[in-house]
Amino acid sequence: MLSTVRLKLDNITKEYPGCRANDGVSLEIKAGEIHALLGENGAGKSTLMKVIYGVVQPDSGTLQWNGKHLRVESPAHARQLGIGMVFQHFSLFETLTVAENIALGLPANMSRDRKQLDETIRDVSQRYGMDIDPRRYVNTLSTGEQQRVEIVRCLIQESTLLILDEPTSVLTPQEVDTLFTMLRQLAAEGCSIVFISHKLREVRELCHTATVLRQGKVTGRCEPAVVSIDDIARLMVGNDTPLQTRVDAAVPLGPLMHIRDLSYRTKDPFGTALKHIDFTLHAGEILGIAGVAGNGQDELLRALSGEVRTSAQSVVLDGVDIGERMPGQRRKMGLAVVPEERLGRGAVPELSLMHNTLLTAYHRDLLKGPWVRFGQVRALAQRICERFGVRSAGIDSQANSLSGGNLQKFILGREALQEPKVLVASHPTWGVDVGSAVAIHEALVSLRDQGAAVLLISEDLDELYQLCTRIGALCDGRLSPLAPTGQISIEQLGQWMAGEFESPGLGEDDHAAA
Amino acid sequence: MLQLERRPVASPAMQWASPVIALALTVITGFVIFSAMGRDPLSSLTYFFITPLSSAYGWAELGLKMAPLLLCAAGLTLCFRAKLWNIGAEGHFLMGALGASIAAVQLQEQTGLWVLPVVLLVGIVFGAFWAGLAAGLKNRFHANEILTTIMLNYIALNVVVYAVHGPLKDPFGFGFPQSIMFSNSALLPNLIPGTRLHIGWLFSLLAAVAAWVVLARSFIGFQLNVLGQDSRAAEFAGFKQRWLVWFAFLVAGAMAGLAGASEVTGPIGQLVPQVSANYGYTAIIVVFLGRMHPLGIIAASALLALTFLGGEMLQISMNMPKSITQLFQGLLLFYLLISDAFIHFRVRLKPAAPEPRQTSATLAPQES
């Protein structure tokens, strides 16, 4: 069974205006194989998957499915062939039940008999150790459970090739373990799995084979279990990029910012209310906040940046109550913020880098009365681009013309050059190429070494463990205890991310910094 | 099959070509309409677009119509850049005219150089106050400014109508709904002797340049731009949105108020109900046609001013209805909005059903 080739791609090329997303990519996936597709953002992974799933047609190259040449006309055709895909952003209707969601993708004769369908869903999910109640509404499910619904949906459609796009990015470490167990069982039964990721540790743990893409081309194939992480990473990023930052131990100083019993409820019905957040941020440390997306990270950032005002005493910077102050006033006091959304919040897409410099740095001597000192603004923009290696067509190019990594370097540079006392950064390396990620990490560490306090909100546990002095986790708007990085296991952190901790704030470890 | 496809980046060439295309299409449609009406289309178009400008007096008349349009448009540009859809220039204009008239009637017996500035200033304050109502409603109650400003326009019109039928009515005016003629000290001086062009035209050029300087060089102009392009970034940066709303509306109200004041103290010399020939509404077309650029609106206001003159000319010489003006203005806006779609989109020819392509030599012997 293991020897039959399920899917074979030969010389697939797909060109978009201005970029060759896939350039002669060949790939072979056997039955029962878990195949990793590795590569940085923009390496062409998604395009390749879209080709397999019939979303786009390749410009040239062929596809063989179970030995037969064919053209995947559409996603519906792909599903009919037995190709299932779980996207990073789930395609589930939150107001429908699990069974209704699954019925939507099925042929009419299968979806009509609901009792039978419920039965099938229970059968399939239990067989793979994922307990799913078909009658539950999707909006009551956790992210991990929603992902299982997507997988069950593919299995019910009798998929023999399952494509998972960054499936672990929305899961806690424990949920990742459950997912892996299930995927191994599926593979043992002959289902092929394409596992798209850039988390090399997971790939080594799970996958039999790996194909590495860089700039649309295959740069290597390997058996991840027997190759070192550094070797795989080299294939992904090429030879001239440093793989990671050396981080020296932090030398924390005195407390700089206090968050005291911070609670607020958003107007957004899908937002998360913050509940009694309580911690102290010390100068010279990087404090990491882990957590699965949507557990209050954005709300915390807004409360700190001043986009949302809370009670005055709940945010204290340098002994001053600033909970009721506007973002501009907080910036003047030395608070800098790097939000999660680069375009549309951190930067105005259609304005130039020069104008985007002015966006948050205006209090840095860039104004003269009501007038803008454009000479100074240009100089500062130039300095940001030089210091942080922002590659662009110049400071007059629009923010949306930059790649994610370059724009993020620009935004972080803009905030860092304001010499902040406190920098709050949310997911600063999300969707960023390795080279830029290293540069961003270095900038954060160098801020820390200059005596600033950095609050790093991230879903990337590797990043948190690498950079942070102390780590905690947010779950459902509550903050776990904070522990020195060296003293907390990834399992413990995973439990915190899942909400398994005592009442908030009590376990805070202030001694770590003393 | 034709398909609209989003351009990767907005086309800067189309940005400025669009008004020209719209104008061309308007002229072509005008040609068709005149022919359908049984008129000679060429001479009709000549009367509409060329004849009004065949004399120095005609050019002065163009400036006269341009002034109120440009003043209103300059203020609206500040609002529209921030995506504050202030449709209320008409109301600000009418209140400005009313305010100036009240002052002029009160100061009827006064002479001196101070009279005119006071009259204009009262007009400005009235216009700004009227715009301030909409700004206050927006900031305090999140009331949609499109609705409030439109409604305030009707209220303003009725207040003016009430004034000329009641408190401001000329007691010796044979019952006509109009105020007394203002004294000379309350009238704007002429710019060119023998024409009706007055210094209000200079105010309007000044306003456009001021709007340009504010948008291009000042921090508040930058904040208005950011607010319009990306309100979340404005919030993130900590710009005071309410303050910006106040600023844009009050300036727009002041400028439109000055336009109204200049109209009653300029060519009309008294308050009449039809003081505005829809200048406040037409100014909206001016702003869009001028690409929301303070210098672009100078050209656009001249073009729209021409549609007023052309309409009058057709009425006089070819006995056509005056509503030709509105017809042309409407066509212009209609075509402009259509061609503006091509700033962000382009038309692509797509095969209706793509033939399966196979490039490998190892298969598909049946093909080629």
Note the pLDDT tens digit of each residue in B62-71: 999 999 999 9
Q: How far apart are the first and last CA of chain B?
A: 26
Alpha-carbon gap, residue A434 to A212, rounded angstroms = 14
Q: Give pLDDT, residue A364.
A: 86
Q: What do you get for the CA distance between the two ends of chain A, in Å? A: 61
Quick: pLDDT tens for B158-207: 999 999 998 998 888 888 899 999 999 999 998 888 889 999 999 999 99
Q: Please name the residues in contact with B270: beta carbons below 8 A apart, sequence gap of 6 or more.
A: B101, B170, B178, B179, B180, B181, B182, B264
Inspect the interface and report whether the beta carbons of A344 and B230 lie closer than 8 Å: yes
pLDDT of residue A500: 86
pLDDT of residue B217: 94
Burial A432-441 (b: 16+ CB within 10 A, else e): bbbbbbbbbb
CA distance B263 to A441: 63
Distance from CA of A10 to the nearest CA of B (A): 9
Say whether pLDDT at A118 is over 60.
Answer: yes
Going from the C-alpha of B244 to that of each of A329, B25, B78, B152, the distances in angstroms are 17, 37, 10, 21
Please tell me the distance in Å from A108's CA to the nearest CA on chain B. Answer: 26
In the predicted structure, residue A461 carries a pLDDT above the cut 70? yes
Could you read off the pLDDT of B218-265 as tens digits, one per residue? 999 999 999 999 999 999 999 999 999 999 999 999 999 999 999 999
| pLDDT(A271) > 80 | no
Overall average pLDDT of the A421-431 stretch: 90
Whether residues B358 and A62 touch (CB distance < 8 A) is answered with: yes
| Residue indicated by tokens 């681009």 | A385
pLDDT at site B193: 85
Contact B169, B179 (CB under 8 A): yes
* Residue A479 confidence (pLDDT) above 90: yes
Using a pLDDT cut of 70, give the percent of chain A over it.
95
Q: Which residues contact A392 (CB under 8 A, 6 or more apart)?
A: A353, A385, A401, A402, A406, A410
What's the mean pLDDT in B344-351?
76
In sequence order, what are the residues at sequence separation of 6 or more whose Cβ sits closer than 8 angstroms to the Cβ of residue B322? B311, B312, B315
Query: What per-residue confidence (pLDDT) applies to A2?
Result: 47
Residues of A with CB under 8 A from a CB of B: 10-11, 17-18, 57, 60-62, 69, 71, 305-307, 326-331, 337, 339, 341, 344-351, 355, 358-360, 362, 367, 370-372, 374, 398, 401
Poorest-confidence range of A21-25, A236-240, B304-308?
A236-240
Three-state secondary structure of chain B: CEEEEECCCCCHHHHHHHHHHHHHHHHHHHHHHHHHCCCCHHHHHHHHHHHHHCCHHHHHHHHHHHHHHHHHHHHHHHHHHCCCCCCCHHHHHHHHHHHHHHHHHHCCCCCCCCHHHHHHHHHHHHHHHHHHHHHHHHHHHCCCHHHHHHHHHHHHHHHHHHHHHCCCCCCCCCCCCCCCCCCHHHCCCECCCCCCCECHHHHHHHHHHHHHHHHHHEHHHHHHHHHHHCHHHHHHHCCCHHHHHHHHHHHHHHHHHHHHHHHHHHHHCCCCCCCCCCHHHHHHHHHHHCCCCCCHHHHHHHHHHHHHHHHHHHHHHHCCCCCHHHHHHHHHHHHHHHHHHHHHEEEEECCCCCCCCCCCCCCCCCCC
Asked whether the predicted pLDDT for residue A419 surpasses 80, the reply is yes
Three-state secondary structure call for residue A335: strand
Alpha-carbon torsion A418, A424, A426, A431, what sign? positive
**Looking at residue A343, what is its pLDDT?**
87
- Chain B neighbors of A370, CB-CB under 8 A: 218-220
Residue B364 near chain A (CB below 8 Å): yes
Confidence of residue B8 (pLDDT cuts 50, 70, 90): confident
Q: ipTM beyond 0.90?
A: no
Under the banding of pLDDT at 50, 70 and 90, the label for residue A377 is very high
Kindly determine whether residue A372 and residue B217, on different chains, have CB atoms separated by under 8 Å: yes
CA-to-CA separations, B36 to B32, B45, B50, in angstroms, rounded: 6, 14, 21
The full set of domain ranges for chain A reads 5-237, 255-334+419-513
Q: Torsions phi, psi of B53, nearest 5?
A: -105, 20
CB-based contact B226 A348, cutoff 8 Å: yes
pLDDT of residue A509: 44
Does residue B9 belong to the interface with chain A, where contact is any CB pair within 8 Å? yes
A45 vs A356, residue with greater confidence: A356
pLDDT at B350: 64
User: Residue A402 in 3-state DSSP?
Assistant: coil
Spatial separation of the C-alpha atoms in residues A195 and A172, rounded to whole Å: 17
Which of A228-232, B148-152, B338-342 has maximum average pLDDT?
B148-152
Neighbouring-strand partners of residue B223:
none
Phi then psi for residue B275, to 5 deg, are -60, -35
Judged by DSSP in three states, A319 sits in coil
Long-range contacts of A498-502 (CB under 8 A, 24+ apart): A498/A172, A498/A174, A498/A175, A499/A475, A501/A473, A501/A475
Residue type, A371: W
Residues A197 and A36 sit within 8 Å (Cβ to Cβ):
yes
> Residue A503: which pLDDT band, with cuts at 50, 70 and 90?
low
Where does A255-334+419-513 sit in CATH, by number? 3.40.50.300
Phi and psi based region of residue B260 (left: phi greater than 0; alpha: psi -120 to 50; beta: remaining): alpha
Q: What is the pLDDT of residue A333?
A: 92
SS3 A309: coil
Q: Is it the case that residue A342 has pLDDT exceeding 90?
A: no
pLDDT digits (tens, 9 = 90+) for A149-207: 888 888 888 889 999 988 887 788 888 888 899 899 989 988 999 998 877 888 888 99
The mean per-residue pLDDT over the stretch A386-410 comes to 87
Token duo for residue B89: 């220039």
Range in A372-386, B211-225, B252-266, B343-357 the model is least confident about? B343-357
- Give the nearest partner residue to A359 out of B233, B357, B363, using CB atoms: B233
Euclidean distance between CA atoms B246 and B229, whole angstroms: 18
Give A374: exposed, middle or buried? Use CB within 10 Å, 0-12, 13-18, 19+.
Answer: middle
Residue A130 pLDDT exceeds 90? no
Nearest chain A residue to B7 by CA distance is: A17
Chain B residues close to A69, C-beta within 8 Å:
358, 360, 363-364
Chain B hits for A339, Cβ within 8 Å: 236
Helices and strands: H and E segment counts in chain A: 17, 23
Query: Hey, which residues does A217 pair with through a beta bridge?
Result: A214
According to DSSP, residue A97 is labeled B
pLDDT at position A243, please? Answer: 64
d(CA B290, CA B296): 4
What is the pLDDT confidence band of residue A45, given thresholds at 50, 70 and 90?
A: confident
CA distances from B2 to A15, A16, B8, B21 (A): 22, 20, 18, 20
* Average pLDDT in chain A: 86
CB contact under 8 A, B217 and A341: no
Residue A250: predicted pLDDT = 72
pLDDT in tens, A388-397: 888 888 898 8
Exposed / middle / buried, residue A442 (Cβ in 10 Å: 0-12, 13-18, 19+):
middle
pLDDT tens column, A217-268? 888 888 888 888 888 888 887 766 666 666 777 777 889 999 999 998 887 7
CATH class given for the domain over A5-237:
alpha beta
Q: What is the pLDDT of residue A365?
A: 85
Percent pLDDT > 90 in chain A is 33
Chain A interface, mutation test: which of B6, B218, B227, B230, most A Cβ atoms within 10 Å?
B230
User: Which has the minimum average pLDDT: A55-59, A332-336, B287-291, B364-368?
Assistant: B364-368
Q: H or E element: which one contains A29?
A: strand A19-30
Is B229 in contact with A349 (Cβ distance < 8 A)? yes
What angle separates helix B115-141 from helix B89-106, to the nearest 10 degrees?
Answer: 140
User: Which of B212, B214, B219 should we substitute to test contact with A (largest number of A Cβ atoms within 10 Å)?
Assistant: B219
- Looking at residue A159, its pLDDT comes to 87
Q: Tokens for A115, please give them.
A: 């009792």
Mean pLDDT, to the nearest integer, of A479-505? 84
Of A89 and A446, the one with more pLDDT: A446
Confidence of residue B367 (pLDDT cuts 50, 70, 90): very low
Of A460-464, B1-5, B248-252, B351-355, the one with minimum mean pLDDT is B351-355
Q: Is A254 exposed, middle or buried (0-12, 13-18, 19+ CB in 10 A)?
A: exposed
Please report the DSSP string for A131-179 in residue order. Answer: ---TTSBGGGS-HHHHHHHHHHHHHHTT-SEEEEESGGGGS-HHHHHHH
